[in-house]
A and B are shown apart, each in its own frame.
Chain A
Amino acid sequence: MSASKKSIEPMLEDIASQIRGMKSDSLALPDILKLADVMVVSMRGFFDQLDASIYKELTDVSAFINNARSEIGRLQPANLKEKHFPEAGKELDAIVQSTEAATNTIMEQAELIMEADPEDMEAYHATVQAGIMEIFQACSFQDITGQRISKVVSTLVHIEEKIGALADVLGSSIEEVPIEETAEEKRARELLLNGPALEGEGIDQSEVDDLMGDASSQDDIDALFD
């Protein structure tokens, strides 16, 4: 572009100086068209180069979109939404229901045993035997629950693998957008706990006792917050 630009510059300057010398009301249309023609010639090289760089950019963007679309296709979002998520939800609901039912059965039997009158030895023995049998049967929920949990874990692993592959394709181009915390989320974060800790996490009863014992004065407690 620089060579053509050099050869055209004197022509442009020449036309421009002619136009500068004219009165504005005496500008002829051929002069203006001539200037426009020279400008088009001078800019063609620039646009040619621009087209090539834009074309490359667009090709890269197209390849990126195709790759991402292909990965999203492998993710099978419709399958996740219509099959995997609902099934995992149903399994978890079933786990909650079965553990609740089993707990109720076990507690009912334990309460019956606790309240049985040991004075009547025969009736007491029968109540205890029947209660123990019911408790054993109720404990079978653990086997079924274990199988249900395995299915949910498989679904989570499946989703993790698919999203991991998608993240690899998108790579560093993903800009993590900060999520604004809702009032409900803020309250939950500040006031509600996150549920049971896993083994090795959190602190146990003896450590809690130490904290309750050691931090015996308000000053001690305040110092822990500094």
Chain B
Amino acid sequence: MAVDLSMPVLVVDDYKTMIRIIRNLLKQLGFTNVDDAADGTEALAKMRGRPYGLVISDWNMEPMTGYELLKEVRSDDQLKPTPFIMITAESKTENVIAAKKAGVNNYIVKPFNAATLKTKITAVLGDF
């Protein structure tokens, strides 16, 4: 089944420029319904307000990190199925494993390009 490019996508990052970059990359990839949040707390509130087809989240944020957001999402029966891609500037084996153990669907290391983003979204959602 083809990916619905009009599905709501939530980008979570405390750095406005990174949100802008990811928004523009998603726009270039064809996604038309992109929302954003500045940290895990705001993202969780938004996710409880409406369903999202994909969450792309940074790890390093306060007061709630992307890792904490992921664990909250995976422990919530309603939010649990939401595809979740983690993006971080720091890549340590233990972090990747911890994220995988917490139920992340894919993991992107900054800096990244549109091709990497597309590859990871395809791996999670299927071809588009």
| A contact residues vs B (CB 8 Å cutoff) | 100, 103-104, 107, 110-111, 114, 191-197, 202-205, 207-208, 211-212, 215, 218, 221-222, 224-225
CB-contact partner of B92 in A202, A212, A218, under 8 A: A202
Contact of A192 with B17 in the complex, beta carbons under 8 Å: no
Provide the residues of chain B in CB contact with A211, threshold 8 Å: 93, 96-97, 100, 107
Among residues of B, the one whose C-beta sits closest to the C-beta of A205 is: B109
Provide the residues of chain A in CB contact with B17, threshold 8 Å: 100, 103-104, 107
Whole-angstrom distance between the alpha carbons of A208 and B89 in the complex?
A: 12
Q: Which 8 A-B pairs have the closest CB atoms?
A: A193-B90, A196-B89, A202-B91, A211-B96, A221-B101, A203-B91, A205-B109, A191-B65
Contact of A192 with B24 in the complex, beta carbons under 8 Å: no
Contact of A191 with B90 in the complex, beta carbons under 8 Å: no
| B contact residues vs A (CB 8 Å cutoff) | 17, 20-21, 24, 27-28, 59-60, 62, 65, 67-68, 88-93, 95-97, 100-101, 106-110, 112, 116
CB-contact partner of A203 in B96, B100, B108, B116, under 8 A: B96
Whole-angstrom distance between the alpha carbons of A203 and B95 in the complex?
A: 11
Summarize A's interface: helix, strand, loop or mixed.
helix
Provide the residues of chain B in CB contact with A224, threshold 8 Å: 97
Whole-angstrom distance between the alpha carbons of A191 and B112 in the complex?
A: 23
CB-contact partner of A192 in B60, B96, B97, B101, under 8 A: B60
Known: A191-B68, A205-B108. A225 touches B90 (CB 8 A): no
Provide the residues of chain A in CB contact with B24, threshold 8 Å: 107, 110-111, 114
Q: How far is the CB of B44 from chain A (nearest CB, A)?
A: 15
Whole-angstrom distance between the alpha carbons of A150 and B1 in the complex?
A: 54
CB-contact partner of B89 in A100, A193, A205, A212, under 8 A: A193
CB-contact partner of B96 in A194, A212, A218, A225, under 8 A: A212
Provide the residues of chain A in CB contact with B100, threshold 8 Å: 211-212, 215, 221
CB-contact partner of B21 in A107, A194, A197, A203, under 8 A: A107
Contact of B116 with A205 in the complex, beta carbons under 8 Å: yes
Contact of A191 with B67 in the complex, beta carbons under 8 Å: yes
